[in-house]
Structure 1
Amino acid sequence: MPDDRQNYIDGEWTESHTGETFETTDPASPEEVVATYPQSDAEDTERAIEAADAASDDWGTTPGPERGRILTETGSLLADRKDDLTELLVREEGKTWSEAAGEVQRAIDIFHYYGAKASDLGGTVKSSSARNTNLYTKNEPLGVAGLITPWNYPIAIPAWKIAPALAAGNTIVIKPATLAPGVVHEMASALEEAGLPDGVINVVTGPGSTVGDAIAGHSAVDAVSFTGSTQVGNAVYDTATEDGKRVQLEMGGKNPTLVTDSADVEEAADIVSAGAFGVTGQACTAASRAIVHEDVYDEFVEAIVERAEAIDHGHGLDDPGMGPHVSESELESTLEYVDIAEDEGATLECGGNELDREGYFVEPAVFSDVDNDMRLAQEEVFGPVLAVIPVSDFDEGVEVANDVDFGLSASVVTDDHTEANRFVEEVEAGVVKINEKTTGLELHVPFGGMKDSSSETYREQGDAGLDFYQISKTVYDNY
Structure 2
Amino acid sequence: MEYGLLKNLVNGEFVTAASGDEIPVYNPATAREQVGSVPAMSSQDVAEVFAAAKGGAKTWKKTNQLARGRVLLNAANIIRSRREELVELIVTEMGKTRSEAAGEVGKTAEFFEYYGGMARDTYGDFLADARPGTFAARIVEPLGVVLLITPWNDPLLTPARKLGPALIAGNAVVVKPATVTPMITLRLAEILHEAGLPAGVLGTVTGRGSDLGDALFEFEGLRAVSFTGSTAVGKGIQTKLAGRGIRVQTEMGGKNAAVVMDDADLNMAVPTIVAGAFAQAGQRCTATSRLIVQKGIAADVRRRIAEAVRELRVAPGFTEKADLGPVIDDGAQNTIRGHIEHAIGQGVEVIARRELEGPAAQVGAFVEPTFLGVTPEHDIWREEVFGPVLGMVEVSSLDEAIEAVNDSLYGLSSAIFTSNLADAFRFLEEADTGQVSINQPTTGWDIHHPFGGFKDSGSAFKEQGRDALEFYTRVKAAAVRTH
TM range (shorter): over 0.9
Q: CA deviation at 1:256?
A: 0.2
Q: C-alpha distance in 2, partners of 1:94/1:87?
A: 10
Matched ranges for 1:399-438 at <5 A: 399-438=403-442
Aligned match of 2:473: 470
Q: CA deviation at 1:310?
A: 0.7
Runs (5+) with no aligned partner, structure 2: none
| 8 Å contact from structure 1 (residues 338, 352) kept in 2 | no
Matched ranges for 1:74-473 at <5 A: 74-208=75-209, 210-211=211-212, 213-319=214-320, 320-351=322-353, 356-368=361-373, 370-456=374-460, 458-473=461-476
Q: C-alpha distance in 1, partners of 2:212/2:418?
A: 46
3-state secondary structure, aligned to 2:154: coil
Matched ranges for 1:60-75 at <5 A: 60-75=61-76
3-state secondary structure, aligned to 1:463: coil
| 8 Å contact from structure 1 (residues 168, 469) kept in 2 | yes
| 8 Å contact from structure 1 (residues 351, 364) kept in 2 | yes
Q: C-alpha distance in 2, partners of 1:303/1:294?
A: 15
Distance verdict in 2 for CA 1:212–1:151, change over 3 Å: farther
Q: C-alpha distance in 2, partners of 1:339/1:242?
A: 42
Q: C-alpha distance in 1, partners of 2:452/2:90?
A: 24
Distance verdict in 2 for CA 1:387–1:212, change over 3 Å: farther
Q: C-alpha distance in 2, partners of 1:307/1:225?
A: 37
Match for 2:82: what amino acid?
R
Match for 2:395: what amino acid?
V
Q: C-alpha distance in 1, partners of 2:61/2:213?
A: 24
| 8 Å contact from structure 2 (residues 311, 354) kept in 1 | no
| 8 Å contact from structure 2 (residues 225, 248) kept in 1 | yes
Q: Could you tell which deviates more after superposition, 124-133 or 299-308?
A: 124-133
Q: CA deviation at 1:190?
A: 1.0
Q: C-alpha distance in 1, partners of 2:391/2:399?
A: 19
Q: CA deviation at 1:337?
A: 0.8
After superposition, the C-alpha distances for 1:185-205 in whole angstroms (9 at most, x for unaligned) are 111111111111111100110
Q: C-alpha distance in 2, partners of 1:269/1:378?
A: 22
3-state secondary structure, aligned to 1:243: coil
Distance verdict in 2 for CA 1:210–1:468, change over 3 Å: farther
Match for 1:364: what amino acid?
P
Q: CA deviation at 1:267?
A: 2.1
After superposition, the C-alpha distances for 1:44-89 in whole angstroms (9 at most, x for unaligned) are 1111111101221111111111000011001101110011000000
3-state secondary structure, aligned to 1:72: helix
Q: C-alpha distance in 1, partners of 2:162/2:4?
A: 26
3-state secondary structure, aligned to 1:129: coil
Q: C-alpha distance in 1, partners of 2:166/2:204?
A: 14
3-state secondary structure, aligned to 1:318: coil
Q: C-alpha distance in 2, partners of 1:301/1:217?
A: 52
Runs (5+) with no aligned partner, structure 1: none
Match for 1:411: what amino acid?
A
Match for 1:323: what amino acid?
G
Q: C-alpha distance in 2, partners of 1:206/1:118?
A: 34
Q: C-alpha distance in 2, partners of 1:219/1:298?
A: 59
Q: C-alpha distance in 2, partners of 1:224/1:292?
A: 39
| 8 Å contact from structure 1 (residues 215, 221) kept in 2 | no
Q: C-alpha distance in 1, partners of 2:123/2:32?
A: 51
After superposition, the C-alpha distances for 1:385-431 in whole angstroms (9 at most, x for unaligned) are 00001111110000011001000000000111111000000001000
| 8 Å contact from structure 1 (residues 40, 206) kept in 2 | yes
After superposition, the C-alpha distances for 1:336-365 in whole angstroms (9 at most, x for unaligned) are 011011111110012176652211112210
| 8 Å contact from structure 2 (residues 312, 354) kept in 1 | no
Match for 2:334: what amino acid?
E
Q: Could you tell which deviates more after superposition, 9-18 or 253-262?
A: 9-18
Match for 1:280: what amino acid?
A
Q: C-alpha distance in 2, partners of 1:135/1:202?
A: 37
Match for 1:347: what amino acid?
E
Give RMSD over aligned pairs.
1.3
Q: CA deviation at 1:212?
A: 7.2
